[in-house]
Amino acid sequence: MTGTIDKRNAYPTIEVGMVKGTNNSDKYEASLMAIMSYLGKHYNVAYANVLGYSAGGGGVYNYLIDHGYDRSLPPIKKFVSLDGQYNACTAQPDQTLAQVLADGPKIKTKYYDFWLKNYERVDKNIQVVLLEGAYDTKKETDGTVPWADGFSIYPLLIKNGNSATHYLIEGTNTEHTEMPSNQKAIGYVKTFFYE
């Protein structure tokens, strides 16, 4: 890990990327843990806001479950999931999006089973926004992640008592690979993180 945080920067940003793209949320969780440990040891960070994109969303959620109450680490205040993956990109052909938002997915993978068994370990004070690209409204997907997957943790967050909202980002540049540079998504993130 390299770099320093300018003490005059009230809102420093730390970006985590992989040398090669990965679908493994465990790698993102480990990276977030390394960063938060470093911040806890070397900087007086009051809190952090975290964005997880694609499998990074699952990595952040894993981190919140496994390390959210570790007081040696800066607490997470807000979490944005951008086209997050929580159920192995599993579509829900027999459920509407409204049903998934209310009850969770009928078809559950081992990943979702983990969330289901452990969602109460997430700090209730963390505020969450789930964003998904409305790339293909007929198939209800961003072209890679079905909306039913990206929004699948919403009922768990609500049941846990978290303040959680969800938005479909419509318009151009809503395909999965385009979402990190989508201006509407960036606007939501800035407003949520810095309001």
The predicted-structure confidence for 32-42, as pLDDT tens digits, reads as follows: 899 899 888 88
Q: What is the pLDDT of residue 1?
A: 63
- CATH 3.40.1030.10 is held by the domain 25-194: no
Give the pTM. Answer: 0.93
Q: What is the pLDDT of residue 4?
A: 78
Question: 17 pLDDT exceeds 90?
Answer: no
Residue 14 φ/ψ, nearest 5 degrees: -120, 125
- CA pair distance 170, 131, nearest whole angstrom: 11
Name the one residue in this structure whose structure tokens are 């909202």.
165
Residue 187 Cα distances to 9, 15, 122, angstroms: 20, 18, 26
Q: DSSP letter at 136?
A: B
Q: What is the pLDDT of residue 76?
A: 95
Q: What pLDDT digit, counting tens, does each position of 95-140 carry?
A: 999 999 999 999 999 999 999 999 999 999 999 999 999 999 999 9
pLDDT top residue among 20 and 28: 28
Contacts of 40 (CB under 8 A, 6+ apart): 72, 73, 74
> In what helix (H) or strand (E) does residue 132 lie, and over which residues does it extend?
strand 127-133
Local confidence band at 21 (pLDDT 50, 70, 90 cut-offs): low
Name the one residue in this structure whose structure tokens are 């289901």.
116
Question: 18 pLDDT exceeds 70?
Answer: no
Please, are residues 142 and 175 in contact by the beta-carbon 8 Å criterion?
A: yes
Q: What pLDDT digit, counting tens, does each position of 128-137 carry?
A: 999 999 999 9
- CA pair distance 82, 150, nearest whole angstrom: 8
Query: Could you tell me the two tokens for 13?
Result: 């940003």
| Cβ-based neighbour number of residue 2 at 10 Å | 3
Domain-wise residue ranges, the chain? 25-194
**Selection from 164, 42, 177, 151 nearest residue 86 by Cα:** 151
Local confidence band at 183 (pLDDT 50, 70, 90 cut-offs): very high
Q: Which of 22-31, 35-44, 74-83 has the highest mean pLDDT?
A: 74-83
The one-letter code for the residue type at 2 is T
